[in-house]
Amino acid sequence: MLYSRLLLIFLMGGFCHSIQAQQISDTKFGKGMLNFIAKDSSFSVKFAPRMQSRFESKWNYDGQSYDSKELNFLVRRARLKFDGFAFTKNLKYKLELGLSNRDISGASDFNRNTPRYILDAVVMWNFHKGFELWAGQTKLPGNIERVVSSANLQLIDRSLLNSKFNIDRDMGIQLRHKSRWGKTFVSREKFAISQGEGRNITEGNKGGLQYTSRLELLPFGEFKSKGDYSQSDLSREEALKAMFSVTYDYNQNAVKTRSNMGSYMFRADGSLFQTDISTWFVDAMVKYEGFALMGEYAKRSADELFALQADGQTRTGDVVNVGSALNLQSSYLFQNNVELTVRYTTLDFSSVTKISDLSQLTFGLSKYVVGHKLKIQTDLSFSQKNGNQDYVQFRTGFDLHF
C-alpha cells in the first residue's frame, strides 16, 4: 500500500519537474491535462485523469410492492491515464491506474493480496504497415460493449450481458491487422494469447492459456473519430456507417466460473478444478445522422459444467456459468446534444447453473456538454427475474475527463 502511494507521488513529481525540461504542446479540455513532447521528439507523455460520480437508488420487489429501498452515493471510477510514444512514433504505450474501490478490489493469494491498481500497462508496436503487436495487460478483443471505454458510454454503466459474459482484461500478447478492400470496405483482424485468469494475476497460474480472435467488418468505411468504439453518434455521421463483428474465445483449463472472470473453483485439497471454456460474441454498431444502434449476442459453453473434487466424481458446488445473452441498444442525439437511449437485455442461463434468468429494460437521458469528456446522465431500469418483477433502479451521475 505504501509502495503504491510512493509510486503515485513519484509520477506526479516527475510531471512537475518535466514542465521545465520538456516542450508543452497546445492542448485544451478533453485532450489531456498535460501534454509533453521531448525536445528531440524521442518520446511523449499525455496525462488525463478522469472520474465518474454516481447516485443510485434501487427498489426491490417483495412479491407485493416495491418497498425494499437501497440508496447509494459512490465514485464509480477514478483513474489516471498516461499514453504517448517512446523512441519512435511507431512504438506507443498506455498506462491506466484505477483508484476507486471498485477499481482496486479483488485482492487474493494470486495477486499477493494487494490492491489491483493497474488496469492497462501495454506497449503497441506498429512494426509493418497495417500490423500492430501489443504486449502487456489490457482489454482482450471481446464484445464491443466491453471494448468501448467506460468513459464513452451513453448510459450510466454497461449492460447485464457485459457483467456476466465479458472476458475483460488479461496479461499477454495481441496481433492486430487492418486491411482495406476497394474504396470503402475495411476489415480488422485481432488475435490474442493471454494468461487466462484476468488482470493483475502475478503468481499461481494453474490453468492453461486463453486464445481470443476477433474479426471486424466495416462495409461503408471507418467511423469518424473512432465512433465504432464509442457509444452515441456525437460525430453525426453524414453517411451510413456500420461495423459487424464476431469473436471466439477459448480458455484452456480455465479455473474460474466465468472463463477468466468470476470466482476460482477450489477443491477441498486446495487445488483448482480445470475445464475448457468457450465464449462466442456476435455484435454490431450502426450510426447515421445522430442515430446509433448497438447489438450484442454472447454464448458461453464448457467441457465440464460441474466442478469436481480430486476424485473426479464428487462435486465441489461450483458450476461454470454457461448460457447466452442478448443486448440491444438504440439512441438518438438531438441538435442540442441531449440524447435519448433505450436498452433491452436478456440473460438465459442453463438450468444446471441454478442462476435466475434475467431481463432488463432501461431508458436513458444524457446531456453532452463537451462530448463524452463532460456529460450528465441518468437512467431508469425495470428488471425481471424468471419472468417475474424483480427491481426498479434509478441512477444519475456525471463524467469529467480531462
Query: Superfamily assignment of 2-401 in CATH?
Result: Porin (2.40.160.10)
pLDDT in tens, 285-298: 999 999 999 999 99
pLDDT on residue 30: 83
Q: What are the extents of the domains in the chain?
A: 2-401
Q: How far apart are CA 158 and CA 383, in angstroms?
A: 15
pLDDT at residue 18 above 50? no
Q: What is the DSSP string of 192-230?
A: EEE-SS-TT--S---S--EEEEEEEEETT-PPGGGGGGS
pLDDT in tens, 53-86: 999 999 999 888 888 788 999 999 999 999 999 9
Of residues 91 and 22, more confidently modeled? 91
> What is the sign of the dihedral through the CA atoms of 358, 359, 365 and 371?
positive
Q: Band the pLDDT of 196: cuts 50, 70, 90.
A: very high
Amino acid at 328: L
Q: Band the pLDDT of 21: cuts 50, 70, 90.
A: very low
pLDDT in tens, 296-339: 999 999 999 999 999 999 999 999 999 999 999 999 999 999 99
pLDDT on residue 342: 98
Q: Compute the CA torsion angle 9, 11, 13, 17 (nearest 10 deg).
A: 180
pLDDT at residue 162 above 70? yes
Q: In this structure, how many other beta carbons lie within 10 angstroms of the beta carbon of residue 264?
A: 17
CB 397 within 8 A of CB 156: yes
pLDDT in tens, 200-213: 998 877 779 999 99
